[in-house]
Each structure stands twice: as structure tokens, then as C-alpha cells.
Amino acid sequence: MPSKKIAGFAIATIGWILSSTSTGLVDWRVWHMDDPSFFPTGHAYVGMWKVCIYRHHTNISTAKLCHQYTDYDDFLPLDVCIAQDFLLIASILGLVGKGYSIHGLWSMHMGILQELKICRSFVISGTLDMIAGVCILNAAFWNYCSITTLQGIAFPPSFQLPFKPDRQEMGNAAVVVNIDAVLKVLSGFFLSYRFSRLTSLI
């Protein structure tokens, strides 16, 4: 039983690191601009909190320019705002869940014979991890729907980006969040397995 809890804690830790990392990744969407009639050719990485633009020039192969979103930006579409909220909630839930699992492991290590309290700590931790995984999946789903339906973003003129690119695809962040979601659900199972029936008696 302790080995499963330690494994669950380790998986939850890796998942929380991936969750925090995916929040800051910029390549959630990859925009390709092939028509130079209005905008310089190149591509852009559209993230949840910033966008980075790579231009193709004659003398320089690529030039990178990043724009950070602020709390006052009203050009962000609803899908990006919802994904931002889901990612923040997932990070907070994962951190709180880690606190409960640490408490449960510490109690087991110290030999504290309060089984119901230990069970409750692990079940709460596992439940929070599973909810965090669902939040991450929701963020990935909104991003995927926006790409498949060719949704655009009305960036300010200073960004020098079109409303819609010529082509867009999912970036590497999609792989990270999917792995993260699987780890969250798996850690939740390890942490709460065989304890849920006991906690129902509390």
C-alpha cells in the first residue's frame, strides 16, 4: 500500500511540473502565414499568455518577436480565456493535492495510527488530481476545437498578425498537456485506490 502512494505522489509531482510548464508554453497553436501581400511571410506560435512571431527576411532567416498578453487585453477570444482559467485551476488544484498527499505520506512514515485521517488525505489528494486532469483536458479540447474550426484572433495592429493564418496546426504544447492529463488521472487512481470505501465511513 505505501508503495502505491509513493508512486502516486511521484506521478502527481511529474504531472504538476508538466502542468506548470504547459501553462507557459507558447506553441499551443502554430500559425503559418504564406501570403506576403498583406503580412510578411513566416509563422507564429500562439500561446495562452503570449504570441511569438518568426519572420522570414532576405538577409536574416528568422526574426523573433514576442508579445505578452495583459489583464487589460480585450482581443482574446473566449476559448483562450477559458483555457487560461482551466490551466490556472489545474495548477492550483495540483499544488493543494500535493500538500494533502505529503501529509498522508508523512503520517504513514511517522506511524500515526489514525487510518481514517490518512485515508482522507490520500482520497482528497487523488480527487483533486483527477479534477486537475479534467481541467487540463478541457483546456486542450478548447484549443483543439479552435484549430479544427479555423478560429481567428483579432490581435492589435501593432502585432502585425492577420485575423486568421493561411494554415494553423497544433503545437508541441498539445503533447505535453495530454501526457499531463493522463498522469493526473493515473496519480489520482493510485492515491485514492482502496481508500474511498474507508472514507465513506468518516
Model confidence over 48-98: pLDDT tens digits? 999 998 876 655 556 678 889 887 888 999 989 999 999 999 999 989 988
CA 178, 135, 20, 141 dihedral sign is positive
CB 14 within 8 A of CB 33: no
CA–CA separation, 191 and 129 (whole Å): 9
Q: Which residue has the cell 501526457?
A: 179
CA–CA distance, 135 with 95 (Å, rounded to integer) = 14
Full-model pTM: 0.81
- Indicate the CATH number for domain 2-25+73-199: 1.20.140.150
Q: 28, 143 in Cβ contact below 8 A?
A: yes
pLDDT in tens, 143-188: 999 999 888 999 998 888 888 888 899 999 988 998 998 999 888 8
* Cα-based distances in Å from 95 to 100, 147, 184: 9, 30, 12
Three-state secondary-structure class, residue 28:
coil
Contact 94, 16 (CB under 8 A): yes
Q: Who has greater pLDDT, 9 or 58?
A: 9
pLDDT of residue 200: 43
Estimate to the nearest angstrom the gap between the alpha carbon of 164 and the chain centroid: 24
